[in-house]
Amino acid sequence: MPKDFLKGASDEYDVVVIGSGLGGMTAANILARDGMKVLLLEQHYKLGGLATWFKRPGGHIFDISLHGFPYGMVKSCRRYWSKEIADSIVQLKGVRFDNPMFSLTTTFDRKDFTNLLTSDFGIEEETVSRFFDTARGMNFYDDQDRTTRDLFEEFFPGREDVVRLLMEPIVYANGSTLEDPALTYGIVFSNFMSKGVFVFQGGTDKLVKSMEKELKANGADVRINCDVEKINVKNDAVESVVVNGRTIRCKAVVSNANLRSTIFNMVGEDHFDNSFVDDAKEVRLNNSSTQVYMAMNPDDTVPRETGDLLFSSTAERFETDLLLSRDITSRTFSFYYPDTRPDKKERTLIVSSTNANFSDWNDMSKEEYEASKQDLIETTFDALEKYVPNCRERIAHVEAATPITFEHYTKHISGASFGTKFEGLAVSRKLPEQVTGLYHAGSCGIIMSGWLGTINYGVIVANDVINQITSASMPA
Ligand SMILES: Cc1cc2nc3c(=O)[nH]c(=O)nc-3n(C[C@H](O)[C@H](O)[C@H](O)COP(=O)(O)OP(=O)(O)OC[C@H]3O[C@@H](n4cnc5c(N)ncnc54)[C@H](O)[C@@H]3O)c2cc1C
């Protein structure tokens, strides 16, 4: 008999959360902490969603999406998780850029960027200051017609080098392009510029295990290997979910799964107004990624000056489309020194990440796909050679992930790494107006993606759910 992953689960909960990405887990934690009866269902055998890791022989652990996040994570983790989690967040000091236009190392904060822009790039201090203030002053209600390209044109006309410095890391951080609304850039860039780039010391495995402990301590029922097939709706309200052959009733569902699969696969378009369905169909998914994971030989390492996060590119010009091309010219290298997991005997690990289009990896024969992955590995070695000489001999283990890999593990349509483009946020927010008790919390709309964005979105949505459930149970 197959194992029953729902053994002992109740037939009814206040809230079912579908998916244990950081957004889903955070929503579940806030709801459970508030006294709601919460069931968290994850289709994979591990919690964390894209915030995940894998182990390989030799004992090393690769992190998938632990390259960096803004300082705001400290506050969010302290408030919505625990002091222990918040206290493990540490700054990455060595952020490097190396491309045909410039090579530099920075702490990636406003002070250091102001110095760089005025001294190395020759921009007037007053312009830099106005640019920072404008970016920081942006919010969700701003004019959405102004694009990031317009913003740069206004402040730094004709300065492709400046645009590259300001934009390249943000393209990696959330897949945004120069054509996206300027406010998506302004909000995310300002979050980073407040204090720099941070990571979780101890690795994603430690983080997710701490979150699981916290969820259980707050009374959430957490289940893995539970793939939700359907969200049942009756009289325009959520009634139950169908999972592993069981129907579980609930007052509300928070879906942390892909926004489009929530609407079209789990609920079904018949339950929404036509105009909402039209808007949902227009939502563009964000791009996907490729990664190459490399473990150095035991006891070999690279000098610390190599950096923690290295934005490297051989492209003469900066174009956001080029960052997605299968003909890769830009890579972000993350160097994980042995102190990433201080309590374990770790090797030095290197992960190369590149934004990618799903379509460049789909529809290949098995042989073509394997050959393409091998090519990705070889070209990554070629690019790494500049920073880690003789890298082919010094790397003991290497493997690659593609958009197909990300789709397989998370069920995100087309392996989307950062949810949806900006328009996805409005559609996500409108779900409960269409179906009472139906919510979505997960990377979407660019500003609500990445570790910090999705955690904060989980909190916002959990509070909406609490309001709905408590107001429904109040006497009229
Ligand atoms: C290669 C890469 C590198 C990244 N690097 C960074 C970084 O350095 N910093 C940063 O801030 N962000 C980074 N990100 C983005 C960040 O990881 C994501 O934005 C964030 O982790 C997504 O969280 P989420 O809550 O949206 O859910 P996800 O992590 O997308 O999780 C959704 C969950 O729902 C589950 N699910 C789906 N369908 C079902 C179903 N039917 N039933 C049950 N469960 C289901 C999935 O299995 C998954 O666990 C990176 C992403 C990628 C791909």
pLDDT tens per residue across span 71-87: 999 999 999 999 999 99
pLDDT tens per residue across span 329-370: 899 999 999 888 888 878 899 999 999 999 999 989 999 999
How far apart are the CA of 112 and the centre of ligand 1, in A? 31
Minimum CA distance residue for ligand 1 atom 4: 65
Top mutation candidate among 47, 65, 187, 311 for ligand 1, by most atoms within 8 Å of CB: 65
Q: Answer yes or no: is the C-beta of 288 below 6 A from any ligand 1 atom.
A: no
Q: Answer yes or no: is the C-beta of 414 below 6 A from any ligand 1 atom.
A: no
How far apart are the CA of 417 and the centre of ligand 1, in A? 7
Top mutation candidate among 39, 44, 81, 256 for ligand 1, by most atoms within 8 Å of CB: 256
Q: Answer yes or no: is the C-beta of 65 below 6 A from any ligand 1 atom.
A: yes
Top mutation candidate among 26, 50, 410 for ligand 1, by most atoms within 8 Å of CB: 50
Q: Is the pTM of this model over 0.75?
A: yes
- The angle at the Cα of 59, spanning 388 to 294, to the nearest 5 degrees, equals 25
pLDDT tens per residue across span 312-324: 999 998 887 777 7
Q: Answer yes or no: is the C-beta of 285 below 6 A from any ligand 1 atom.
A: no
d(CA 120, CA 101): 12
Q: How many CB atoms neighbour CB 126 within 10 A? A: 9
Q: How many helices (H) and strands (E) does the chain have?
A: 16, 18
**Closest ligand 1 atom, residue 22 Cα:** 25
DSSP one-letter string for 92-115: E--EEEESSS-EEEE--SHHHHHH
381 has pLDDT over 70:
yes
How large is the average pLDDT for residues 372-393?
97
Q: Name which of 210, 206, 197 is nearest 90 in CA terms.
A: 197
d(CA 200, CA 203): 6
**Domains and their CATH numbers in the chain:** 12-51+205-284+416-472 (3.50.50.60), 54-91+286-410 (3.90.660), 110-191 (no CATH)
Secondary element (H or E) of residue 331: strand 330-336
